[in-house]
Structure formats: C-alpha cells, structure tokens
Structure 1
Amino acid sequence: MEYFVIGMSAVVLLFLTYRWQEGRRHSAYSGDRLKQTALLERRLAELEGQVARLALERDEALRTIESQRMAQEELDELTRQNYILHEINRAINTTVDEGEIVTIILQAMVTLTGAESASIILFDGEDVRIVSHCGFAEGEPESLSEAFRESIAWQVLTTGQPFIHGDPGEYRRYRPSLANYVASIPLTFIKEVIGCINIHSMGPRYLLTPSKAEILQILAGQAALALKNASMYHQLKQQNEYFARQAVTDGLTGLYNHRYFQQCLQELMKERPVTLLLFDIDHFKGFNDTYGHPCGDEILRQIAHILRSQLGPQEVAARYGGEEFAVILPDADLRRGIERAEQIRQAVANFCFRNPDRTLCLNITVSIGVSEKLAGWDKSRLIEAADRALYRAKEQGRNRVCADLDREMSVEAG
C-alpha cells in the first residue's frame, strides 16, 4: 500500500512538474506572441504610412502629368494659332484685292474660333457696307437699315471699343443674324476705325475663351492693316490712272489730245497699215461770233460725243487743235477710210446741236480729208496728205469727204 501511495505521489508530482513546465513554456510563448504582434502592428503602421505617401506622390504625379498634358495641348494650340496667324498675315499681304482679303479673314475666324457665322463690315464715315459674310442662311445677312444704328456693331464702329459676349449659355442659342453678336472687334488703323469683324453664332462645342478673344483681336489688327493697304493702293492707282488720262486727254472734249495723237500715230505706222482722217467744223468762227464761245465749246463737246458713238474699239479719235479733229483707223485702206469718214460726216449733219441752255437746235457740218499710209511714209507725210485732202474738201464747198493723191474720190453731201 505504501508503495502504491508512493507511486501515485510520484505520478502526481511528475504530472504537476510537467504542467508547471508547460505553463512556463506557454507563458514564454505568449510573451513572444505579444512582442511579435506589437512588432507587426508597428510594421503595418509603417507600411500604411508608406502607402499613403505613395498615394499622395501618385496623385501629385498624376496632377503633374495632367498639368503637363494641358500645358502641351495649350502650347500645341498656341503654336497652331501662331502658324495660322503667320500664314494669314503672309496671305493677306500678298494681295491688294479686297475680296480676297476678306475671304481669308473670314476663313481664319472660323478656323481659329469655331464660329458658325461671321461677317466683315467696313465703315467710312456714314457709309457702312457688308463686304463679306459666311454661314448665313439664304436671304441673310439683313440689309443695313436704320435699325442697324441700334446694333452692337454700330456701337463698336462709332466707339472703337470691342464687344465680347460673356455668357456662353446665351450665345449658344444664337442663330446667324446681324442682331446677334458673340463678338464684334473694331478694325482700327492708326486710331481710325475702318470697320469691324463679327461673330454671330458659334458651334455647340465651342466657347469664345479669353485666348480666342485675344486671337480675334490680333486677327483684327492684321485685317485692318491689309484692308487699309488695299484701299490706299487702289486710291493711288486710280489717281495715277486719272493723271495718266489727264496727260493724254483734251480737257474740253475728253478725246485724246494732240500730243497723244502724234505718239499713237507714230507707233501704229511702224508695223500696221493706217488710214488717217482730218476734219474741222465748217464755219465754226461764225457760230462762235453769233452765239458766243460757250456755245462753241458745247458744239465741240457734242462733236466728241458723236465720234465716240461712231468709232470702234481700235479706232482713235483726238482733238487736233481748235475746231479740228483727227481719227486714226488702224488696218484700214483708203476706201475703208472714205466709208468711215462719210459715216461721221452724215452723223454730224443729222445731229441737232444744242446751245448751253438747250434753247436752240443748230445744224453743223464738217469737211473731212482722208489719206492712206504709203510705203516709205512717216507720220508727217501722212498728216500732210490728209491736210491737203481736207483743204480740197473745203475748196469744193465743205460738208464733204475728199481723199488725197489727186484721186477723183470726193463724196458730196446728198
């Protein structure tokens, strides 16, 4: 029995020892787990911090990329706009045709701003006119009536201040009309407003941004310079043409003068057959003495009117001097010259010549000499021959056509 108790005691003791050791091992293990857990929690916190920083860095990088993309797009757009403006400037400065210039400007307005309808209006004091438009429906744009003086464009023309609409929601509803203006920019040349460029409606996807408004004003500056240059060029050209005409034109009759007649005859005689008519008004001094010099001047002007109505595009009429006139007939022989001279003589004889106050109807006749260029003749010989023929016509009774070279070719009045 004692051995049994001793044995059981030993077993219990061994069991307790084992449990005690297990408890110690479990305590040690639990401590390690707590330490590991704390370490993992700290590591997790660090990782979460790193993730947050990386997320911030990622967002910042995305914002930077987006900013760079937008900047690149803006740069590309500015480059495109600058290129277009450069090409427009080059194009409009290679022409002085107003129509070509306004067409280029309108196309540029559409390209640069997305305009659906646009117009260019020119202004000269009280004179306002539409010179070009695009995007308007049939029948548009409206004519410039008195109501136009209440329009935005009129305000821009008279004040020189640009108009830029600030409400896209409103101008998106606009349709092509001179009553609607998304923008109206003055065309200004050295403080002088010569017109305006206008956008009347824009595509639904487009906005008139500040940058586009700035581009529009640059375009207006280019257009104003080009249009003013074109206007000044044509004015100068017209002045030069006027002075050139004055240099070769007789002031009273509007026919070519004696100087031009001599030059023209000499040039034509170099290479072409030529027949010359010389004629003067019969008894012209008597008309001057009876009715006065103003009446004589009016007769000369009416003779010139008859010549212009009788002659073809290649035939040249000039006032030779006083009451004498000359007609050059290129590529005509003597017979053709006599026919043309007779037509002129009859037209004068059948015409009712009026005095300046239109109270009289006077009968006027002319005597005409005809000569044809012969081989070896210069213009002096031709003129002398025509003058001899004219003298013969006067000697034979006036109001007739005579030819030179002693040919029996005289045509008396019927």
Structure 2
Amino acid sequence: MEYFIIGTSAVLLLFLTYQWLEGRRQSVHPMDRRQQTASLEQRLAVLEGQVATLTTERDDALRTIESQRMAQEELDELTRQNYILHEINRAINTTVDEGEIVTIILQAMVTLTGAESASIILFEEEDLRIVSHCGFGDGTACLPERPPEGFRDSIAWQVLTSGQPFIHNDPAEYRRYQPSLTHYVASIPLTFIKEVIGCINIHSMGPRYLLTPSKAEILQILGGQAALALKNASMYHQLRRQNEYFAKQAVTDGLTGLHNHRFFQQRLQELLEESVAQERPLTLLLLDIDHFKRCNDTYGHPCGDEILRQIASILRGHLGPQEVAARYGGEEFAVILPAMDLHRGMERGEQIRLAVANFCFQNPDRTLCLNMTVSIGAAEKLTGWGKSQLIEAADRALYRAKGQGRNRVCAAFESEITEEAG
C-alpha cells in the first residue's frame, strides 16, 4: 500500500510539473521566442565554426603524423642501407678472392634492391667474361663464361663502352622481364680511376619491388665499392704472380726450365737434414751427356741447347713428386731421390739412361735425329755425411762411368764411401 501511494504521488508530481512548464512556455511573448531562436542559431554557428576549426586541426595533425611516419620509415631504410653498405665494404675489403667479392656484391644487390636476377661482367684484357650471376632459375645458374652471340648490341655493352649507367624508368615494362642477358632493369659500370673494368646488372625485379631513385643511387654506390675491391684483388694477384715468377726465376735454369745449381745446393742440404731426422735413405745421381762438345762443334750451339732442353724433359718425366732434378752446370745434371736407397737409385738411373739412349734428339729446325747417351754416377748418403761428401762420392762414380766407356750407371765403391765417411 505504501508503494502504491509513493508511486501515485510521483506521477502526480510529474504531471503538475509538466503543466507548470507548459504554462510558462505559453506565457512567453513571441518576440522573446524569436530572440531566443536567434541566440541559439548564433551559438550554433559559433559551435559549427569551432567544429570546422577542430576538424582542420585534426586533419593537419594526421598529415603531420603520416609525414613523420613516412620520414621515419625512410630514415630507417636509409639507416639499414647504410649499415648494409658498411658491412659490404668491410667484407669485400677483407678478401682478395674474386669469387668471394662477386658473391657478396650479388647478394647485396638482391638485398638492397629486391632483384630477382643479377650478374657481374668483367673485362678480361680485350675480352669479356661473366664472373658470376644469380637467380637465373637453373639451380646451379651456369651461364657461359663468355657473353652470348649478339652481346655487343646489348644494354650492358653500351654501359661498358660509354661508362654511363642505365636505369630503366618504366616499372610496368621491366616487371614483365624474365631472367635473361637480353633484359636489363639496370646496368651500372664498374669504374676504377676512369677505367671501366666491368658492370653489375639487374635483369629482373620481384613484383613487389620498384627501382626507386634512392635504390638506383645505392646501386651506383655499390658499383663503386665493387670496382675498388675487384681492382684491388686483380692487382694483388698480378703482383703475387710477378713475385712468384721472379722467385721462380731466381732458382730456375733459364735454358732447361729445371732448378738451377743454387737451388740444388739448398734443397740437397734440406733433404739431407730431413733424411737424418727421419732415419731414411737418400740417393744422389749425377749425369753427364756423353760427347756433348763434339755435338756442339758439329751441329752448333743452338742444337746443343735444344738437346739440353730435351734431356731436361726426359728427367721431368722420370721423377716423382718429392724428387728433384737440376742443371748442375754445363752438360751436367743432378737428381735427388729422397727416401730411396742405392739399389733403387741405380734402377732409377738405369731407367733414365735407357730413355736417353732410345730418344731421337732433334735440332731446332727438326731436320736431324741424333742419338745421345749419358753417363750416371750414384751415391747413397751414409751416416755422418754432409752435402759435400755425398756430391764427391756421386762425382767419383760418374767419372768411373765415363772411364769405363760411357753410357752406363756406376755406384760409388764401398771403399770410397768408407774412406769419405772417415
């Protein structure tokens, strides 16, 4: 009952309040209502202006945020690219191996530009060769070493001969390219002090990638790094080959191509020391061409030189990997046989003697076939012997072979060996 009374009272109160408000509204003068309406409209206009201002400020803020986001993304990308370029520069300057350098460069091209296929072409004297490539779809990616037929009509050839880069400016076109040496999204010359040594090429791009101006600039920076590294590697290997050549010339007989007397003396000492340390035998052969002066007097020194070269060739054909042949002087030769006792050394000497005796020696113009023979002395190293004792023993055996009629192999006598050892 109490709830009913309370509810009825509330309804009655609401009704009375409505009636009072309605009476107030009807009692307002029409002029006052117009003023109120005008005031409300004025306030509404002010509010609408404020909303428009806030909307403009919001749009400006969003544009600023988007611009900052894009600038940050660009900064992040530039930071990433600079880091990659730094790492590439560090990597390619820690090696002089051409294969390693081109692999690093190709991987960098793919990483920095999104290339699907790329190649590096270098000048090789007056020719060209493809030193490496990737992404040509055959797994091993084995392109020919030499560019294909018609290459001189290609974009790369124009870049190589002009030194000017090529950057394709039509993404719709180059996106249709398939990996091929006839298609070029970009070709950048590798230039070292105004000398074009080759070019790096992008042949096709992934569908999600574009060769933007910033990527093209990065590609040219990469080309500069590659040119410097490849030229350094080339110069290093050229200098190394020159040093090896001069070092070889210092220990090589210029006429026969065998080791010279200086090398023979040095190597014999080393092998003697090794044989003592390892308790292994060592045999020395000394060879002399029979009647060589007569040959020179009869057919001339050019013919004699040719015979010396042919004797050297026979010796090379009868030596193992660790064995040493040298021109001892004039028409004499020496052969060091490590880990070989006197008996086996005599057998090797006999093989050489027979090979010489059965060989047709020719003069320089190949109009003669001469028969030549050699005399050989053999000696095995004994305990306590040095280099001079071993050479002396082999030399005595050689003169014995000469004295017994030439064209034979003689060993040092036991009595001579014992005498020398004492």
Q: How does 1:253-292 map to 2 (within 5 A)?
A: 253-272=256-275, 273-292=281-300
Q: How does 1:11-410 map to 2 (within 5 A)?
A: 28-124=28-124, 126-138=126-138, 141=143, 144-272=147-275, 273-406=281-414
Distance 1:294 1:45, change over 3 A: same
Q: Distance in 1 between matches of 2:310 and 2:24?
A: 145
- Give CA deviations for 1:212-248 in whole Å, capped at 9, x if unaligned: 0000000000000000001001101100110010000
- Equivalents in 2 of 1:32, 1:185: separation in Å? 83
Q: Amino acid of the residue matched to residue 223 of structure 1?
A: A
Offset of 1:47 from its aligned partner? 1.1
Distance 1:319 1:333 in 2: 22
- Residues 341 and 58 of structure 1: is their aligned pair in 2 closer, same or farther, counting only changes over 3 Å? same
**What is the alpha-carbon distance in structure 2 between the residues aligned to residue 326 and residue 63 of structure 1?**
89
CA deviations 1:78-126 (Å, max 9, x no partner) are 1111111111111111111111111111111111101111110002453
Matched residue of 2:150: which SS?
A: helix
Cα pair distance change 1:25/1:117, threshold 3 Å: closer
Contact 1:140–1:177 under 8 Å retained in 2: no
Displacement after TM superposition at 1:136 (Å): 1.2
Distance (whole Å) between structure 2 residues aligned to residue 345 and residue 44 of structure 1: 124
Q: Deviations over 1:300-319 (max 9, x none)?
A: 00000001111001000000
SS at match of 2:230: helix
Give me the TM-score of the superposition, normalised by structure 1.
0.90
- How has the CA–CA distance of structure 1 residues 141 and 302 changed in structure 2, closer, same or farther, with 3 Å as cutoff? closer
Q: Shift of residue 24 of structure 1?
A: 12
Q: Are the aligned partners of 1:281 and 1:324 in contact in 2 as well (CA < 8 Å)?
A: yes
Change in CA separation of 1:320 and 1:160 when aligned onto 2, cut-off 3 Å: same
CA-based RMSD of the aligned residues comes to: 1.9
> CA 1:278–1:25 in 2, change beyond 3 Å: closer, same or farther?
closer
Conserved? CA contact 1:85–1:219, under 8 Å? yes
Report the Cα offset of residue 407 of structure 1: 7.0
Contact 1:141 1:178 in 2 (8 A): no
Secondary structure, aligned partner of 2:173: helix
Shift of 1:37: 1.8
**Matched residues in 2 for 1:44 and 1:232: separation?**
83
Per mean C-alpha deviation after superposition, the further-off stretch among 265-274 and 344-353 is 265-274
- The code of the aligned residue for 2:353 comes to R
Deviation at 1:140, TM superposition (A): 6.8
Percent of aligned pairs with the same residue? 82
Q: Hey, what's the Cα distance between the residues in 1 that align with 2:24 and 2:226?
A: 98
Note the C-alpha offset of 1:46.
1.2
What is the letter of the counterpart of residue 186 of structure 1? P
How far apart in 2 are the matches of 1:59 and 1:124?
60
Inter-partner Cα distance in structure 2 for 1:155 and 1:84: 29
Measured after TM superposition, the shift of residue 29 of structure 1 is 3.5
| Alpha-carbon shift at residue 146 of structure 1 (Å) | 4.5
What is the TM-score normalised by the length of structure 2?
A: 0.89
For 1:302, the aligned partner's letter is: Q
Matched to 2:86, the amino acid is: H
Which AA in structure 2 matches 1:121? Answer: I
User: Aligned with 1:275: secondary structure?
Assistant: strand
Conserved 8 A contact 1:278-1:387: yes
Provide the rounded CA distance (Å) in 1 between the counterparts of 2:143 and 2:154.
14
Q: Deviations over 1:313-355 (max 9, x none)?
A: 1000000000000000111111111111111111111111111
Q: CA deviation at 1:145?
A: 3.8
Contact kept? 1:279, 1:367, Cα under 8 Å: yes
After superposition, give the CA deviation of every residue in 1:164-211 in whole Å (9 maximum; x if it has no partner).
011111111111111111000000000000000001111111110000
In terms of mean alpha carbon deviation, does 266-275 or 323-332 score higher?
266-275
Structure 1: which amino acid aligns with 2:198? G
> Could you say which structure has the larger radius of gyration?
1
Cα 1:24–1:330 change in 2 (3 A) is closer
In structure 1, stretches of 5+ residues that fail to align are 1-22, 409-414
Distance in 2, Cα, partners of 1:269 & 1:31: 133
The answer (yes or no) to whether the contact 1:171–1:201 under 8 Å persists in 2 is yes
